[in-house]
Amino acid sequence: MSETQLNITSMINPHFYKLWRTKKPYVVAKGGRGSFKSSTISLKLVMMMKKQAQLGHKANVICIRENTVNLRDSVYGQIVWALDMLHMTNEFSYAVSPMRITHKSSGSTFYFYGGDKPEKLKSNTVRNVIAVWYEEAANFKSAEVFDQTNPTFIRQQSPFVNQVQIFYSYNPPRNPYSWINKWVETVRNDDDYLIDHSTYLDDELNITNKQQLKLIEAYKNNDRELYRYLYLGEAVGLGTNIYNMTLFHPLKSLPDDEYLVNIYFSQDSGQQVSATTESCYGLTNAGKVILLNTYYYSPVGKSNKKAPSDIAKDLHEVEHQWIRQWGMNPWKKTADSATSDFALDHEMFKEYPEDGRYHHVAKTEKTKMIDNVQNLLGTGRFYYLDIPENEIFIKEHQQYRWDDKTIQSDKPKVIKENDHTCDAFMYLIMDNLVDFGLKW
């Protein structure tokens, strides 16, 4: 056995031996976080290319994410990691525009594409393809992406392999009616497919470090259902209530043994037709995220509604009140991307340019934004000051529900009533995933 083979044995958990050795053309690797399914596939792809290059063959691999924006920090980085683990870094050259990783001596290349640009996938002219990898496959729009794209790359098969092997990796959505959960059931009995389900519990090599295990244990203790979804990869269902309110921890005051390292503002604006809200949050040195205060104005039922200039003045004054109270400026001010089109945003910057502009986050699917909130809640680190100003925040989150008419569908919807603080909370977390320890 060569040194490389010995290294591979030390990197691949026994659970994945079947995936590693399979000759089936389609490999579906699903499961919970931290199961090393993506790491295993990236190592497998590098070794497939290496074998062909050693034989003097040019061999190309196609790596696809649902969005071009996500390529560099995910699947591209995963291939770079695999090359480093196999001590092959210097054998390749690296480019990001266009995004490619090329074997210097053979010209074999990893090509990276976003599923949001299907025209590039369908018009592919890359030849000598040996494998295709759909990373985070659940994030694609539907199985039609696979149906339309796979034939393109299969037609460009290398003459030195028997087939183009296609890999899918993903964490199953919690909604059992999600398209990918239903799709995998349709192919489960197809002899061309290997379907593998893995979790962090399959880590026999003890690769998972103590800090990660401690975090997983926190999820397990705080929200068993969320733990099953995130780390066991189970489609636990949505239920009707969106949040487990026992994970919203009240405080009478800040903890005596902690201090604030940053404060954050987050806004959701409705203006003339619905409520405008902005909240102030604090991040402590121990990693707690604390709701400190909330501004809320609703025009509903009022004959004399506030103008954008009135609300802008309110927000200017309340923001400066928070700054004085907590003795620091906000690390970031967040708002919905749509807010930039509203008169309020322009009014605030015109009248109070010294306050700075909001960072506008681009909304994504509601289920994904809700997942971010549930991930924070599951760590047991979200608290709120139990004061009258924050009562509306708790009330709206208690009432936040899925529309039961849409739960048994691929695209469940929330009931869009009295949800303004819920939206502002989602924007806050989306904009600060790294700060809150939810993304590395």
Sheet holding 193-198, edge to edge: 92-96, 99-103, 109-114, 60-65, 129-135, 165-170, 26-31, 193-198
Mean pLDDT of the chain, nearest integer: 91
- The CATH number for 181's domain is 3.40.50.300
Taking each continuous run of H as one helix and of E as one strand, the counts in the chain are 14, 15
CA-CA distance, 324 to 320, in Å (whole number)? 6
Asked if 72 and 195 sit in the same domain, the reply is yes
Residue 438 located in a structural domain: no
pLDDT given at position 272 = 62
The answer for residues whose C-beta is within 8 angstroms of residue 284's C-beta and 6 or more apart is 254, 255, 258, 259, 260, 261, 290
195-217 pLDDT, tens per residue? 999 999 999 999 999 999 999 99
Question: Quick one: average pLDDT of 320-347?
Answer: 84
pLDDT exceeds 90 at position 436: yes
CA-CA distance, 153 to 66, in Å (whole number)? 17
Residue 84 located in a structural domain: yes
The two tokens of residue 81 are 């990691």
412-424 pLDDT, tens per residue? 899 988 899 999 9
pLDDT exceeds 50 at position 6: no
CA-CA distance, 72 to 74, in Å (whole number)? 6
Of the pLDDT bands very low, low, confident and very high (cuts 50, 70, 90), residue 86 is very high
pLDDT exceeds 80 at position 57: yes
pLDDT given at position 153 = 94
Asked if 162 and 254 sit in the same domain, the reply is no
- The CATH number for 259's domain is 3.30.420.280
Residue 193's domain comprises: 3-208
pLDDT exceeds 90 at position 320: yes
Asked if 52 and 192 sit in the same domain, the reply is yes
Asked if 162 and 275 sit in the same domain, the reply is no
CA-CA distance, 329 to 262, in Å (whole number)? 8
pLDDT given at position 160 = 96
Residue 324 located in a structural domain: yes
Residue 368 located in a structural domain: yes
Which is more confident, 351 or 122?
A: 351
Asked if 134 and 189 sit in the same domain, the reply is yes
Please say which residue of 147, 181, 208 terminates a domain.
Answer: 208
Counted domains in the chain: 2
Please say which residue of 181, 208, 235 terminates a domain.
Answer: 208
366-385 pLDDT, tens per residue? 999 999 999 999 999 999 99
123-159 pLDDT, tens per residue? 678 999 999 999 999 999 899 999 989 999 999 999 9
Asked if 256 and 134 sit in the same domain, the reply is no
pLDDT given at position 2 = 42
30: which DSSP letter?
E
pLDDT exceeds 70 at position 426: yes
pLDDT given at position 70 = 79
Asked if 164 and 272 sit in the same domain, the reply is no
Of the pLDDT bands very low, low, confident and very high (cuts 50, 70, 90), residue 271 is low
Question: Quick one: average pLDDT of 319-325?
Answer: 97
Question: Quick one: average pLDDT of 70-94?
Answer: 93
Residue 421 located in a structural domain: yes
Asked if 190 and 46 sit in the same domain, the reply is yes
Question: Quick one: average pLDDT of 14-27?
Answer: 97
Question: Is residue 267 a contact partner of residue 338, using CB atoms and an 8 Å limit?
Answer: no
Residue 267 located in a structural domain: yes
Residue 233 located in a structural domain: no
pLDDT exceeds 80 at position 400: yes
Residue 420 located in a structural domain: yes
Helix (H) or strand (E) holding 31: strand 26-31
Asked if 204 and 251 sit in the same domain, the reply is no
Global pTM reads 0.80
pLDDT exceeds 70 at position 338: no
Q: Which residue has the tokens 């903890």?
A: 255
Question: Is residue 263 a contact partner of residue 280, using CB atoms and an 8 Å limit?
Answer: yes
Asked if 154 and 302 sit in the same domain, the reply is no
pLDDT given at position 188 = 95
Which is more confident, 124 or 193?
A: 193
Asked if 186 and 287 sit in the same domain, the reply is no
Please say which residue of 160, 192, 208 terminates a domain.
Answer: 208
Question: Quick one: average pLDDT of 44-73?
Answer: 93
Question: Quick one: average pLDDT of 312-323?
Answer: 95
Please count the residues of the chain.
440
E strand map for 178-288: 193-198, 249-251, 260-268, 276-284
213-268 pLDDT, tens per residue? 999 999 999 999 999 999 999 998 887 889 999 999 999 999 999 999 999 999 99
Asked if 72 and 176 sit in the same domain, the reply is yes
- Sign of the C-alpha dihedral, residues 435, 116, 426, 173? negative
